[in-house]
Amino acid sequence: MNLSYWEYKTWLSNIDFTIVGSGIVGLSCALRLRVEHPKAKILVLEKGVLPQGASTKNAGFACFGSISEILSDLKHHTEEEVSKLVQKRWNGITLLRKNLGDKNIDFKQYGGHELFLKNHQELYHNCLNKLDYVNQLLDPIFDGKAFEIQKNSFNFNNIQESYITNIFEAQLDTGQMMATLLHLVQKNGITVLNSVSVQDFTENKDALDVVTDQFEFQTKKLLIATNGFASQLIHQEVKPARAQVLVTKPIKNLPIRGTFHLDEGYYYFRNIENRILLGGGRNLDFKEEETTSLGETDVIQNQLKKMLKEIILPHTVFEIDRKWSGIMGLGNQKQPIVKQISNHVYCGIRLGGMGVAIGSLVGNELADLI
């Protein structure tokens, strides 16, 4: 496509910073760059009509790690490393709330509950036995006991009699979060162009030539925030991981409130007002789900429906309203990759399953590399 003189001059000349990806990291990075460089020309390029990775597809858990996840992490990391990870999630959520406001993201601190299946007796008792130890370890972060035992008051089926609850965990409205973030970015004079896929770039002495599927242009710096898609542009240790979700139609008098983790985090569900959102099941076919293609499979969707019927809503008639998927970026470590990769190129990627919690911080860290 040939751009007109006006189009090129107005939108694509003299660009100081180009961010690839308009997920939570890309948009948070753009905002931070605006604070640090008030006069800079900042451009965000997004291949989707809407953001098309994980930030608009996720479950909206503002979570810090369930007890079994923390204990599992402690097998491979030191206490200090695990504490730092949890601290980062806490700081990230605090920053998100400060930047966007609780009302704008519909932040609700109902608590997050880990449920243990009936046949996961050993895991359940191990978590109960280590409750005080984990609370003590994380006390400096939460300034109090984060985990407590709560009875199965929502009458889920086929699970142990109690949950282990993190009282600080919360839920938010993913759509409102991203819409508020996008609005702030645009209000700050940052251009966001959708349906533009960055395909390649070449680095010169003082700038980069960027090739997209729509046009070519130059930028002084390139910041890559494409998470699970990162290896399509740069060579970094990040693999795509598709995550599938479904949501029910409204259910009359639904009593369930909160966020829930099940089967060591392989499944997660929450209420959205009077609906249930349920996701997970990647462990049923890790290989098939290691993809950047959006889509749903029978094997996982059927398992999600089975869990709704047998565990979550055993005595309630429900209908499925929607199903969808999103692409996460994973690696062999839980830390994201935030670094300069050449003279003018930087990346903030590999957010794992915790990008709602840490995305704002990672966006800031990415901008601060410059």
Instruction: Give the footprint of ligand FAD on this chain (CB under 6 A).
Output: 20-26, 45-48, 51-55, 57-61, 63, 197-198, 225-229, 232-233, 243, 245, 279, 326, 328, 351-357, 359
In the complex with ligand FAD, the residue whose CB is nearer, 111 or 355, is 355
In the complex with ligand FAD, the residue whose CB is nearer, 131 or 296, is 296
In the complex with ligand FAD, the residue whose CB is nearer, 258 or 352, is 352
Q: What does the alpha-carbon distance between residue 370 and residue 367 come to, in Å, rounded to a whole number?
A: 6
- Smallest distance from the beta carbon of 37 to ligand FAD, in angstroms? 20
In the complex with ligand FAD, the residue whose CB is nearer, 124 or 346, is 346
In the complex with ligand FAD, the residue whose CB is nearer, 160 or 360, is 360
- Smallest distance from the beta carbon of 144 to ligand FAD, in angstroms? 22
Q: Give the CB-side neighbour count of residue 252, counting CA atoms within 13 A.
A: 1
Strand partners, 264: none
- Smallest distance from the beta carbon of 62 to ligand FAD, in angstroms? 7
Q: What does the alpha-carbon distance between residue 300 and residue 313 come to, in Å, rounded to a whole number?
A: 18
Concatenating the DSSP letter of every residue in 260-288 gives EEETTTTEEEEEETTEEEEEE-GGG-TTT
- Smallest distance from the beta carbon of 358 to ligand FAD, in angstroms? 7
- Smallest distance from the beta carbon of 293 to ligand FAD, in angstroms? 12
Q: Give the CB-side neighbour count of residue 320, counting CA atoms within 13 A.
A: 15
- Smallest distance from the beta carbon of 226 to ligand FAD, in angstroms? 4
The answer to whether residues 167 and 108 touch, using CB atoms and an 8 Å cutoff, is no
Tokens of 91: 């700081």
Phi, psi of 132 (to 5 degrees): -65, -40
In the complex with ligand FAD, the residue whose CB is nearer, 164 or 354, is 354
Tell me which H or E stretch contains 164: strand 162-166
In the complex with ligand FAD, the residue whose CB is nearer, 132 or 288, is 288
In the complex with ligand FAD, the residue whose CB is nearer, 25 or 159, is 25
Q: What does the alpha-carbon distance between residue 33 and residue 305 come to, in Å, rounded to a whole number?
A: 44
Rg (CA), the chain: 21
Query: How deeply is 295 buried, as exposed, middle or buried, from its count of CB atoms within 10 A (0-12, 13-18, 19+)?
Result: exposed
- Smallest distance from the beta carbon of 351 to ligand FAD, in angstroms? 3
Q: What does the alpha-carbon distance between residue 370 and residue 348 come to, in Å, rounded to a whole number?
A: 12
The letter for the amino acid at 87 is: Q
- Smallest distance from the beta carbon of 101 to ligand FAD, in angstroms? 18
